[in-house]
Structure formats: C-alpha cells, structure tokens
Homo-oligomer: A and B are copies of this chain.
Amino acid sequence: MAEEQMPVYYEDLALLETQFDEVDREILAKQYVRSAPLYAKRQDIVSKIENFWPLVFEQSPPDVDRYITPNDANIFAKLKSLEVKRFEVPMGPEKIEAETGDPRSIAIRFEFDSNDYFTDSVLEKKFWYRRSNDGWSGLVSEPVKIDWKEGKDPTEGLTDAAFAVFEARKKAGNMKLKDFAAHKKLVDMIEQWNADNTSFFTWFGFVSATRYVSAEESAQANKEYKERQDKRAQGERIESPEPEEDEDDLDISGDDEVHPEGDELAQLIAEDVWPNAIKYFTQAQEMEDMSEMDFEDMSDEGDDDEPIDLRALVGNGKAKSKPSNEEPPKKKQKK
C-alpha cells in the first residue's frame, strides 16, 4: 500500500459499500419485524401438517442437500419443527434505543421427536455477526453439545471434540490456544476422517470460517471502524487495519474447524429454506404425486396391488388437489 498510489475511486466505492450495507441492515431488520407475525402464523399451520419439515429438507436446495447423507435423512425424518430468529433485532418498545445488535446474527433452532440418535429434543445453534480487530467481519458460532446415543454419532466424535476444544479455550481465557491434548486430538480427527465425513451434523461444531471473535473484540472493532468511516465520510484519508501477521488466521479456517463452510450453510437455511419452506413442501408433495402416477401407469396391466401411497405420509390421504392457482407458492426474495 505504501508506494503505490491507490486510485481515488476505490476509496469512494469502499465507503459507498458500507453505506449500502447500512441500508441493507436497516431493511433486513424492518422486514424481520414486519414478517414475524406471519412466520408465527405459519408455525401454527404447519405444526398441524405431519412431516412438514422433513419434506421441506427433502426438497431443500442443492447447497443444503449435499450435506445431508442418507443416514442424516433418517434423523431429519424426526424433525418436528424448525425456527429461525434474528435474535439481535429488538422486537419490542426498546426498538428505538437499541443500536448494538446486528440483524445478520441468527439463531437456528431444531426440535426433534424422540429418536434413536440423541437424547436432546432441541438443538439450537447461534451465529453472531462480528467484526475482528484485523478487519474481517462475518458469522461466528459456538459448538453445540449433542448427546449422542451409544454408537449412533454420525460425526464420529467430531462434534464432541470441537466442543471440548472450545470449552478448554474458554477456560484458559485464550480463544487462540493451540496444541493442547484436546486440540491435537481434534486436528488429528479432522485430518483422518473429515474429508469423508460429510454428515450435516458436524455443522453443529462450527466455530468460524477464520477464527473465533469475542463479543468484546467485536464491540471494540466496531467502534473503531465507525470512527474511521465517519472520518472518511468527511473526506479524510484513513488507513485500514492490516491483517494479523499470522495470515492463516484471517484467510482460511485453521485445521481445527470441523465444518469450514458452516456460516454459509447457516445463511442458506435462514435465507432460503426458512422463507421458502412452503414452496419446498409443495414441491415435495408434487414429487410424490408424480411418483404415484408412475406407479399407476406401471400397474396398468391388471396388477391390482395398491400403489404405495406416499402422500399418506403427510396425513393427506389420497386427495390430489393442489393449492389453488391463485398464488402458486413461489420463491420469495432472499432475505
């Protein structure tokens, strides 16, 4: 940066991007507050539909679906409800004062029927949108402990190991701590079988695509960031913080991350699966209608066995009608 002259328009464009970001955050929060009552209504309706959420995940977009192994699908068959909250958006009368939260922070809550895999009935994963003191910003999370039943853990110990490392770091008061026993074990496990282990459930062990950033670091970084932006808006030329010397920390998640794309997967669930759930559910039903038709075609030749009625799954008997064409469920805009 020192010798070479940066063209002026780069600074202008970068400042402009932060202003666009501000508007996007404001709009995202507004949309969240406005649609919250509708999502509550939807929860009400779909709680009466058997297998609503399993069918949604069955039809989920490819970038989500690719993480769901056949074994994971058996677990998702027990999914009773899903809920996505932007928990840092103030919903009540405190709306006016609050400036601390970020609407990009998300909590994803899975509720399960009792099942053969784990004893938990709720698995909730939270993602905080934070800024680091070296210029990075994005979603960080904490590993969720899952109480796997004996021999039933599809992550083969990875979520447990990620949880243990995080706890040890918290206890030591140093989130960058490395090379202690539990850490070595985690790194070994990842090296050994993470390449082959694509279970969706490793996602519950996700920490960060770069490194963990604490609430305190983020608050301080946001404060300094805002001061720089204000000065820039006044026309001052201000240097940005340089990335840390250990570039590994910043550029890629280390060898101790069990699900390097965990933040993207969280966003896909929050911005696609969640808002478009009715569409995916309808698609799943249409797929089943089609397979039913295939069965009927095949049974043309006097075979009078009843075709397998996949629709019975959704408590919908043999009714074949679709939602009216008034408003065909469609992809809503991404949130």
Contacts and interface: CB of A to CB of B under 8 A. Distances in A.
Interface of A: 1, 4-7, 9-14, 16-21, 23-24, 26-28, 30-31, 34-35, 38, 41-42, 45-46, 48-49, 135-136, 225, 228, 239-240, 243, 271, 275, 278, 316, 319-327, 329-330, 332-335
Contact of A325 (B4, B24, B31, B243): B243
A31 B27 contact: yes
A35 B7 contact: no
Nearest to A42: B16
A323 B14 contact: yes
Given A6-B319, A7-B316, A17-B327, 19 more contacts: A4-B320, A7-B319, A9-B45, A13-B42, A13-B45, A13-B323, A14-B324, A14-B327, A19-B41, A20-B38, A21-B332, A23-B31, A23-B35, A23-B38, A27-B27, A28-B333, A135-B325, A136-B325, A239-B324
Nearest to A49: B9
Nearest to A320: B4
Contacts of A46: 9, 13
A219 to B, nearest CB: 18
Nearest to A335: B333
Contact of A10 (B30, B323, B335): B323
A333 B332 contact: no
A167 to B, nearest CB: 31
A157 to B, nearest CB: 35
Given A27-B34, A278-B16, A325-B135, A9 B48 contact: yes
Contacts of A323: 10-11, 13-14
Nearest to A325: B135
Nearest to A326: B240
Among A1, A49, A321: residue with most chain B CB under 10 A: A321
B326 A228 contact: yes
A16 B320 CA distance: 21
A31 B243 CA distance: 33
8 contacts: A4-B320, A4-B321, A13-B45, A14-B323, A17-B327, A19-B38, A20-B35, A240-B326
Among A225, A239, A323, A330: residue with most chain B CB under 10 A: A323
Contacts of A41: 16, 19
A326 B135 contact: yes
Given A27-B27, A30-B27, A31-B27, A326 B13 contact: no
Contact of A321 (B1, B31, B135): B1
B321 A10 contact: yes
A323 B15 CA distance: 10
Contacts of A49: 9
A13 B1 CA distance: 55
A17 B278 contact: yes
A319 B8 CA distance: 12
Contacts of A21: 327, 332
Among A5, A20, A38: residue with most chain B CB under 10 A: A20
A138 to B, nearest CB: 9
Nearest to A36: B23
A113 to B, nearest CB: 20
